[in-house]
Amino acid sequence: MAIPDGKKIYPREGDSRIVYLKNVITNPNIEVGDFTFYNDFVNDSKDFEKNNVLYHYPINNDKLIIGKYCSIACGARFLFNSANHTMRSLSTYPFPIFYDEWEHGIWADKAWDNKGNIVIGNDVWIGYEAVIMAGVTIGDGAIIGTRAVVTKDVPPYTIVGGVPAKPIRKRFSEDVIERLLNLKWWDLPFETVSKIIKDIQEGNIDSVMFHLQK
């Protein structure tokens, strides 16, 4: 059995468009799980932090957390809190970030509303040029449609699309979803995952459970 090398940058020989994202991240406020990949056919995939994680300023200490075995398509973007000009003020103009000009002594982080971290579960597929907004949590197994703008949390194994993104349908029955969430196959050793890949691909949860109980 071949042993997956999760420490590679490029998991496909001769293909520099796809990277294991965990191995190109340098920002301590970005956490990525094993085998999650990013595919970019426009820019260098290794520049994910610069091109895809936007308004992620250190002053907020907000985090991007992405689980294991996620598939992130070209141009998907994560918009953080500094993109949200505050609506508590009488004006949306960000006076606080120009404190050198106005000399009022208000800290820069008062210029926007802090909605919190972006948290992506495991086995999530994020489609081409989708946008995930600050404060959003996406559940395990969810699918985000092409160019969707996600402003609210997405439940596990739910397909969403549109602007703003809305639920389209569940991927499986509630029973299968519950079993998958209890199984958490993405946390299994890769040797075990290798043994059940065929069953996973065929969508056979009973066979998956049977093989794990052997």
Answer whether 31's CB lies under 8 Å from 12's CB.
no
Pick from 44, 38, 192: which is nearest to 120 by CA?
Answer: 38
pLDDT of 77-113, one tens digit each?
999 988 888 888 888 888 877 777 776 656 666 778 8
Structure token pair of residue 105? 């002594």
More confident position, 59 or 141: 141
Structure token pair of residue 211? 């093989």
Percent of the chain scoring above 70 in pLDDT? 93
Instruction: Tell me the whole-structure pTM to 2 decimals.
Output: 0.91
C-alpha Rg value of the chain to the nearest Å: 20
Q: How far apart are CA 214 and CA 205, in angstroms?
A: 15
Q: How far apart are CA 143 and CA 187, in angstroms?
A: 19
Least confident of 11-20, 23-32, 44-53: 11-20
32 band by pLDDT with thresholds 50, 70 and 90: very high
Beta bridge partners of 170: 158
pLDDT of 182-209, one tens digit each?
999 999 998 889 889 999 999 989 888 8
Q: With 60 as the cut, is the pLDDT of residue 1 above it?
A: no
List, in order, residues 6 or more apart from 21 with CB less than 8 Å away: 32, 36, 37, 38, 48, 66, 72
Task: Please count the CA atoms within 13 angstroms of the CA of 36 that sit on its side-chain side.
Answer: 27
Answer whether 109's CB lies under 8 Å from 60's CB.
yes
pLDDT of 137-184, one tens digit each?
999 999 999 999 999 999 999 999 999 999 999 999 999 999 999 999
Residues recognised as catalytic: 85
Pick from 91, 93, 95, 97: which is nearest to 109 by CA?
Answer: 97
